[in-house]
């Protein structure tokens, strides 16, 4: 495709900004790449930007080149502790849309208080990797339909978004489920097992809310992790999700890092 060139000075050499793809820009100084900008469309159709630059002025000029060429609204995500990067985006016109906290979740039932938690009457828990695949996929689709009909995909983390061709349960071994009346009604999904496993999703069907199912699922998963010798898990929680905040804080989870989603409308 045709490239669009811009120039700016950052010292001894000129910086040349070149559009190298439909949604990609490079900044070159003395034939070295000193900045990259890219826009990628998430499955919920929102367009997210990233700019990685050696100098603040290069960031600014990449933003100046990119923003007029892309449809609004535009989004980006930054570590809240990175004040310089946040200020660069705000200088380009972005504003804070939402904050997401990383919670550090203890697994020891003596700390969480979950050792005595039992599933509600009539509910059984199938632990990690024990769920039947077809009913799990049916539950996953039902939960996604409820999300789409209520808060919308724009409120969900990337890994919860709809995927091409409807393939959403990529690894059933990462799921624990709650069953009631012959069907699955709630689930927990873990991210890839690392030194600190991440709880990617806790969800219960809307008609089974406020019955203690989410707490029973969390108790089962954290207990299993504890027996494996894992002391702490993590979970990303949107600040405005009062139910999730209350759930994790009730078991002794503490806030760690936070990230900001910014938007330019």
Separation of first and last alpha carbons in the chain: 27
Instruction: Please give the model's pTM, rounded to 2 decimal places.
Output: 0.83
Residues 11-29 as b/e (b if ≥16 CB within 10 A, e otherwise) read eeeebbbebbeebebbbbb
The pLDDT mean for the chain works out to 89
Average pLDDT estimate for 21-25: 94
Q: What pLDDT, in 10s, does the model give residues 198-209?
A: 998 999 999 999
Domains and CATH numbers, the chain: 5-100 (3.40.630.30), 101-258 (3.40.630.30)
Q: How far apart are CA 94 and CA 110, in angstroms?
A: 44
Please report the pLDDT score of residue 1 as a whole number.
Answer: 42
How is the chain split among helix, strand and coil, in percent rounded to 5? 30, 35, 30
Residue 103 and residue 234 in contact, taking contact as beta carbons nearer than 8 Å: yes
Q: What is the pLDDT of residues 61-86, one digit of tens each?
A: 999 999 999 999 999 999 999 999 99
- Give pLDDT tens digits for 227-253: 999 999 999 999 998 999 999 999 999
CA-CA distance, 235 to 229, in Å (whole number)? 18
């Amino acid at each position: 495709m045709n490239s669009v060139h811009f120039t700016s000075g950052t010292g001894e050499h000129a910086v040349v900004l070149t559009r190298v793809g439909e949604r990609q820009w490079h900044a070159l100084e003395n034939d070295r790449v000193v900045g990259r900008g890219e826009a990628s469309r998430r499955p919920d159709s929102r367009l997210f930007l990233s700019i990685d630059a050696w100098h603040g002025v290069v960031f600014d000029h990449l933003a100046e080149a990119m923003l007029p060429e892309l449809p609004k609204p535009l989004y980006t995500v930054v570590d809240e502790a990175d004040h310089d990067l946040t200020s660069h985006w705000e200088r380009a016109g972005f504003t804070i849309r939402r904050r997401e906290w990383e919670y550090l979740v203890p697994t020891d039932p003596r700390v969480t208080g979950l050792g005595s938690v039992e599933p509600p009457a009539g509910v059984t828990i199938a632990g990690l990797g024990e769920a039947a695949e077809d009913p799990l996929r049916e539950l996953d689709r039902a939960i996604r339909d409820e999300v789409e009909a209520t808060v919308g995909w724009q409120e969900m983390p990337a890994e919860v978004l709809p995927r091409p061709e409807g393939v959403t349960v990529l690894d059933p071994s990462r799921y624990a489920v709650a069953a009631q009346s012959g069907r699955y009604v709630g689930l927990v999904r873990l991210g890839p097992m690392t030194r600190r496993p991440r709880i990617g999703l806790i969800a219960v069907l809307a008609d089974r809310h406020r019955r203690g199912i989410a707490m029973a699922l969390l108790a089962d998963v954290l207990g299993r992790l504890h027996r494996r010798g894992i002391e702490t898990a993590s979970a990303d929680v949107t600040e405005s999700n009062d139910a999730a905040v209350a759930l994790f804080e009730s078991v002794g989870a503490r806030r760690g890092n936070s990230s900001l989603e910014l938007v330019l409308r």
